[in-house]
Amino acid sequence: MRKTKGIAVVTGILALTTLTQCFTEKQNEGQRLYEANCQSCHMEDGSGLRNLIPPIASADYLQKHREELPCLIRHGLEGPILVNGQEYDRPMSGLETMRTDKITNLLNYIQTNFGNNNERYTLQEVDQLLESCPPHQH
């Protein structure tokens, strides 16, 4: 009986360690996705590029257009937008093949970093918002 209990404890510890590593990797995934897909334009600190590319750091757009952000990440954006009182009008390419879970992690990283303290997204919320994307947002 003791041997079985010992095996169960060791198995539990291994499972917990593996699970923690998964969460840690997922937690850092948003940052990695930002660095790989967004940082070259929005900059390492999220400040954007003066008069050309809007900031995401302390950006009012993130709260005012929360429901549009998953579609914006997936399909990109064309046309003028207003961020922190300044108009920007440069196209942003979308990440058409990015999976919903990765879009969720990317958005949550942006929403909780760069001076932003916005509500996080759930996977279900992002999935629903992506389903309702306007058909010709390109």
Query: Per-residue pLDDT tens for 7-28?
Result: 555 555 555 444 444 444 566 9
pLDDT score of 19: 45
**Overall residue count recorded for the chain in this entry:** 138
pLDDT score of 17: 45
- What is the average pLDDT across 80-92? 96
- Provide the CATH number for the domain around residue 94: 1.10.760.10
Q: Is residue 3 part of a domain?
A: no
- What is the average pLDDT across 47-60? 95
Q: Is residue 121 part of a domain?
A: yes
Q: Is residue 12 part of a domain?
A: no
Query: Per-residue pLDDT tens for 30-53?
Result: 999 999 999 999 999 999 998 899
Q: For residue 92, which of 65, 121, 126, 131 has the smallest C-alpha distance?
A: 65
Q: Is residue 16 part of a domain?
A: no
Number of domains in the chain: 1
Q: Is residue 23 part of a domain?
A: no
Q: Is residue 114 part of a domain?
A: yes
- Average confidence score pLDDT of the chain: 86
Nearest-10 Cα torsion for 58, 131, 92, 36:
70
pLDDT score of 85: 96
Q: Is residue 68 part of a domain?
A: yes
Entry pTM: 0.79
Domain of residue 52 covers 31-131
